[in-house]
């Protein structure tokens, strides 16, 4: 991850009938390819979370705007 992030910066939560991958510092959904990661199956949300924790994504822009 970038210098200001750690593996616990991201998590998943159930919202309505789906799951959201979110930034634990801001509470906002993670955006990948400009798409908010909301309304996902638990399996997909868990896989995205695993990848975020394993790889080093670019700057988190969910805190902007």
Segment 3-54, tens digit of pLDDT:
455 557 999 999 999 999 999 999 999 999 999 999 999 999 999 999 998 8
Domain ranges within the chain, ordered by starting residue:
7-56
Q: What string of DSSP letters covers 1-34?
A: --TT--GGGEEEEEETTEEEEEETTT-PBPEETT
pTM of structure: 0.75
Rounded Cα gap, residues 48 and 32, in angstroms: 10
- Can you give the pLDDT at residue 47? 98
Give the pairing type, strands 18-23 and 31-32.
unpaired
**Is the distance from CB of 17 to CB of 42 less than 8 angstroms?**
no
């Amino acid at each position: 991850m970038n210098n200001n992030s750690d593996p616990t910066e991201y998590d998943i939560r159930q919202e309505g009938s789906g799951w959201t991958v979110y930034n634990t510092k801001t509470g906002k959904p993670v955006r990948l390819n400009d798409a908010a990661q909301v309304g996902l199956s638990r399996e997909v949300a868990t896989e995205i979370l695993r990848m975020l924790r394993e790889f080093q994504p670019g700057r988190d822009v969910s805190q902007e705007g």
